Amino acid sequence: MELFSNIVMLSLEQATVLPYLSYRLAQDGVKVIRLEHPVYGDPNRMVGEDVLHEERMYSYFLCINAGKMAITLDLSQPEGKELLKDLILKLNVSIFATNQLPRNYKKLGIDYETLKAIKPDIIWVGITGFGPESNEAAYDPILQARSGLMELTGEKGGFPQVLGIPLPDMGTSEHAYGQIMKALYKRAVTGEGSCIYLSMFQSSVSWLTVPITLTATFGKTITRRGNTHEFFAPVSVYETKDGYVYIAVGNDRQWKAMVNLEEFKILDKPEYEKNKGRISDVEKINATINSITRKYTSEYLIKIFNSITVPISKINRIKEVLEDPYVVNNLLFAKDPKTGTEITLAPPPVMTEVLKISNRYMSFPPRFGEHNEEIYGKILGLSKDKISELAQKKII
């Protein structure tokens, strides 16, 4: 039995934060229908390379939109609002989500109270940069800057840096995922819907557990430190004969095991036996380790560190990540029925039953308005002439 097979999500989505959330839910078997303006659509459809030689199906869009359906609707028009009402009722929508600015909620007829009046048990999700009281625009790097994430990222004494992934976007998606699961449980127990507001800024700041406590309570200054760790040493990136490795010594026992290796005996000194002593001389220790690791291949260093159970990893390029045995058997795929193009997608955090049943295949990311005829015709019962009329009027 597919647990979420009867759950329908109508998602007025664009950019990353909400599309990634709905993508995660699609992996659970939720029927996701993305809703876009019939003229403008999701700007991310035109980001990246034109790999399919087709408008609005660029490479960046393909990464997090598999497993969904797509329809268009202009909610600023009265007819559009009526169609939304019909969609919610006839599709039996469980979850409505949007990442529109709050000032647009009532104007588009998508605010919680309006939709609750249509379907009292609806789970309503609004994701914004700074919460429902703010209409301030926000993109992921702006949130990284304001939340302090950039202050913590980069080389010691160097410029602040953005993270390699959009954590404010995807972190908020994950937080929203958890809230939706709680809301679904609440509805199953009480029959009541929920109104969920998520601030991407608050989500981003919530990751700063140690920096905030140490700053606010103990007056510490926490800032970027490159590849080292504030409280443990040695923990850093080290150069090898053929690349780089990251070594993480997490306690004094692991340090003793490391310096017992013939290659690192030069570091077996009384003043380094305790972590405190190593922290106080971390730059010298790291320079010495680097002078040693340069003499050996990454594979050799991994072999000897694994033999003493001290964590180590080669710094993998993305192509190498794809070859990792823990990754290769969990990758997802989607094949375009129109062009035959098959795309490889990142593995899910957990392999769901739905993905197992489909042999890790999801439906191909939908084209702009691809399912208009199916949804408006077969579900809402509109005639082809009516659908054509609505399309000509730019309502769908």
Which residue did the predictor score with more confidence, 177 or 3?
A: 177
The letter for the amino acid at 348 is P
Please give the share of the chain, as a percent, with pLDDT higher than 70.
100
Answer yes or no: is pLDDT of 244 > 70: yes
Which residues are bridge partners to 238 per DSSP? 245
Instruction: Work out the average pLDDT over 104-117.
Output: 98
pLDDT reported for residue 94: 98
Q: In what order do the strands lie in the sheet with 235-240?
A: 235-240, 243-248, 312-314
Position 3 confidence tier, pLDDT thresholds 50, 70, 90: confident
Instruction: Work out the average pLDDT over 294-315.
Output: 98
pLDDT reported for residue 89: 98
Answer yes or no: is pLDDT of 2 > 80: no
Instruction: Work out the average pLDDT over 367-393.
Output: 98
Written in H, E and C, the secondary structure of the chain is CCCCCCCEEEEECCCCHHHHHHHHHHHCCCEEEEEECCCCCCHHHHCCCCCCCCCCCCHHHHCCCCCEEEEECCCCCHHHHHHHHHHHHHCCCCEEEECCCHHHHHHHCCCHHHHHHHCCCCEEEEEECCCCCCCCCCCHHHHHHHHCCCCCCCCCCCCCCCCCCCHHHHHHHHHHHHHHHHHHHHHHHHCCCEEEEEEHHHHHHCCCHHHHHHHHHHCCCCCCCCCCCCCCCCEEEEEECCEEEEEECCCHHHHHHHHCCHHHHHHCCHHHCCHHHHHHCHHHHHHHHHHHHCCCCHHHHHHHHHHCCCCEEECCCHHHHCCCHHHHCCCEEEECCCCCCEEEECCCCCCCHHHHHCCCEEECCCCCCCCHHHHHHHHCCCCHHHHHHHHHCCCC
Position 334 confidence tier, pLDDT thresholds 50, 70, 90: very high
pTM comes to: 0.95
pLDDT tens across 162-190, in order?
999 999 999 999 999 999 999 999 999 99
Let me know if 74 is a catalytic residue: no
Instruction: Work out the average pLDDT over 272-278.
Output: 97
Q: Where in the chain is the domain with CATH 3.40.50.10540?
A: 8-206+327-392
Instruction: From the candidates 50, 169, 281, 336, give the one annotated as an active-site residue.
Output: 169
Instruction: Work out the average pLDDT over 343-363.
Output: 97
Q: How far apart are CA 46 and CA 384, in angstroms?
A: 29
Answer yes or no: is pLDDT of 1 > 70: no
Instruction: Work out the average pLDDT over 323-327.
Output: 97
The answer regarding whether domain 8-206+327-392 maps to CATH 3.40.50.10540 reads yes
User: What mean pLDDT is reported for the chain?
Assistant: 97
Position 87 confidence tier, pLDDT thresholds 50, 70, 90: very high
pLDDT tens across 257-269, in order?
999 999 999 999 9
Q: Where in the chain is the domain with CATH 3.30.1540.10?
A: 235-317
User: Thinking of the domain 235-317, which architecture would CATH place it in?
Assistant: 2-Layer Sandwich (3.30)
